[in-house]
Structure 1
């Protein structure tokens, strides 16, 4: 471990709670240097929806590399990019009636968000972005301005402006944030400048698995349409099937103007992000927003195969939905007669604890028993299950048994409070 302490920056974080040196990974398991095998219920913070070293994706990737396929291509036209675009258009966009331009903003989710904010401001000529409490949208300055977490915001070193924050659904009991939003928009003395866009996560992954209802999302979209405000759906963690449909917003029927995707988009853990822009909003001039690594052709290859393998029909989505139903039923059982309660949606669900200390104790015990699982929320109080979507039911139950035992070990009583 000495090399990491001696050479790596102090900013490292996940490794502090998971003190192991990993040497290999396959499917839903990771193996450390001592040969200990761990169930992975973190999956690269939602980046490995199809598991580690997925054999179908790996085969396509290795063949591409062995044939000297283009690795880095700026935004050149390449065969790999064309194949991905065909698959994404045919399998994802067209069946959903989506006429969005596909923009490659750079390798990460925060790149996708920066592009979304920039195009919204350019098109509308306005500067204010509305975001929500507990939202997380990235660590670069524009995306960080829309992020709620003070720990992350505190690292900026500059004032973060241009954002007006609203309470997310359920943030405060009895608080109707959308009625408040409409009131502000209709009052010339409210102090809210007419927004360019609203950015929202359908499920707030890092914010504690807060999940918006379909009714709330439909109403939010209606307000945006009424007041000529663009709607940005941040689907970086909740997308690519994590909640049971490719886009997390599909069950609500809303049609976002701009959508951000990353994390599991490549299917293999390779850096890859998209900003989807409604066609008439695609008003960047050539090169007006660019980046050296926006043409990761290796990611194009694996993303194409992931789409063809898992999303060409509804079978995989139905499997995910069945596993999610089972996961949430088991979590509900674990919460009985305890102060814990269920949060999230789909295979992006977890348990909220009275405080971060209890959540941390649970995840540490899980690691001691052979499972990697992490926390989220403003006080790290939510134990979050992010197992790969390809996790078998046997593995899912094994992990849930470990989690249940870790919770039992805390000897929690229903009357306990934070």
Structure 2
């Protein structure tokens, strides 16, 4: 890559960009689990579009359906008009995802991104309950628009708002106190205490696995206890499955393992199938009190996304093969990371399914590992409040050979910095 090639990025693009700083290459093509720069260098992708590419880059099954749809002049932009592509998507989503899991949800198309669906979920919860306060959790990440940012924990991202972020109260996420069991007694106590200063909340919003927060995994019993508390106190439970849904943890929804039914679920990223922008807000039918147009957006009806999402569900979610493979591959990473944590001091691991973290007591080492990995042809990012975690989000379709290749690169990088 020559200097002239990078000048347009440096001179014209905002400094707000981040991934291009850590991965200084000009990427050109991608297929499956691999992405290539304009000079032909290949990188194994353990990032997968921050979880937007669960089915890999340019998945041939999805690409064929998309190209066919475009070539026959299928509708691209449809706002919330009824289209054949939307009808086919909804029928497939009901048949392949909702009905087999016994879920009765209305589907809202709030806009194309994760923060859009979080905003709509918060607005709906407040409209339904007539309350304003939201309970969120330490180290949570829910998006970058103001409502979603108000329930996000990261201080740097919150500071970017430029105004006070209000009407949200953080509570400790599972294991926040390093092994002390949180049974919600304090939460329950302040709900009942008129002197606590806690406004009665409209909703609780939670990730079952906090990806950006450092691959923090909530135990199923903790999630169940939270759901039960919300039910007893008539507080709506919102599960943010933007990054952990669509099979990332094994089941299609990350909350399935806990056996709960949230009141509201947010989905984006891989729900579009092909890396195409799309988001859904799911909620119980009795909560559907929106007035027409009360929450809308120009790009909420992205019909090509309906096409690729439908085909992804038909191809990957007609049986449990992908779920089982995801869990098996996740254990493969867990074993490799456990071996590293036993071999090197100050290293540990956590995760579920195909979201895994290698945690460094010395936070700077995580960044060094990711840089060495990039130099050796692997994309992986850091997460956590101090960027102390090497976070893996490989495509669910990755092969065993590719997985082992990438884990070998990470093992060598960890040995170098440890």
Fold equivalence (TM over 0.5)? yes
3-state secondary structure, aligned to 1:102 = strand
Give the match for residue 60 of structure 1: 65
Q: Is the 8 A contact 2:183 2:222 kept in 1?
A: no
Report the 3-state secondary structure (helix = DSSP H, G, I; strand = E; otherwise coil) of the residue aligned with 1:231: strand
Aligned position for 1:377 = 384
Q: Report the Cα offset of residue 295 of structure 1.
A: 0.1
| Contact 2:125/2:203 (<8 A) preserved | yes
Q: 1:336 aligns with which of 339, 342, 345?
A: 342
Aligned mate of 2:307, from 292, 301, 308: 301
Pairwise CA distance, 1:335: 1.2
Residue pairs, 1:27-42, within 5 angstroms: 27-42=32-47
> Match for 2:353 among 346, 354, 364?
346
- What is the number of residues matched between the two proteins? 411
Match of 1:187 among 189, 193, 198: 193
Counterpart for residue 239 of structure 2: 233
- 1:405 and 2:416 matched: no
SS in 1 for 2:343: coil
Match of 2:364 among 346, 357, 362: 357
Deviations 1:43-84 (A, max 9, x none): 001110000000000000000000000000000000000000
Indicate conservation of the 8 Å contact 1:17/1:364, yes or no.
yes
Q: 1 CA distance for matches of 2:294 and 2:183? A: 36
Residue 288 (structure 1) aligns with: 294
Is 1:196 the counterpart of 2:202? The answer is yes
Give the Å deviation of 1:375: 0.4
Is 1:132 aligned to 2:132, yes or no? no
User: What is the CA-CA distance between 1:175 and the residue it aligns to?
Assistant: 6.1
Q: Deviations over 1:356-380 (max 9, x none)?
A: 3110100000011110111000011
> 1:176 Cα shift?
2.3
Find out whether 1:51 has 2:56 as its counterpart: yes
CA RMSD after TM alignment? 0.8
Give structure 2 stretches of 5+ with no counterpart.
1-5
Match runs of 1:68-107 below 5 Å: 68-107=73-112
CA–CA separation in structure 2 for the residues paired with 1:361 and 1:237: 25
Contact in 2 for aligned 1:218/1:254 (Cα 8 Å) = yes
Residue matched to 1:416: none
Deviations 1:288-327 (A, max 9, x none): 1100000000100000000000001111111111111111
User: Does 1:318 find its partner at 2:324?
Assistant: yes
Preserved CA contact (<8 Å) 1:135 1:206: yes
SS, match of residue 282 in structure 2: strand
Query: Does the 8 Å CA contact 1:355/1:379 hold for their aligned counterparts?
Result: no
Runs ≥4 residues deviating over 6 A: none
Match status 1:262 vs 2:240: no
- Name stretches of at least 5 consecutive residues in structure 1 with no aligned partner: 413-418
Other structure's SS at 2:368 match:
helix
Equivalent residues of 1:168, 1:177 under 8 A apart: no
In the superposition, the TM-score normalised over structure 1's length comes to 0.97
Secondary structure of the residue aligned to 2:121 is helix
Find the residue that maps to 1:336 and give its secondary structure: helix
Q: For 1:354 and 1:314, how far apart are their aligned partners in 2?
A: 37
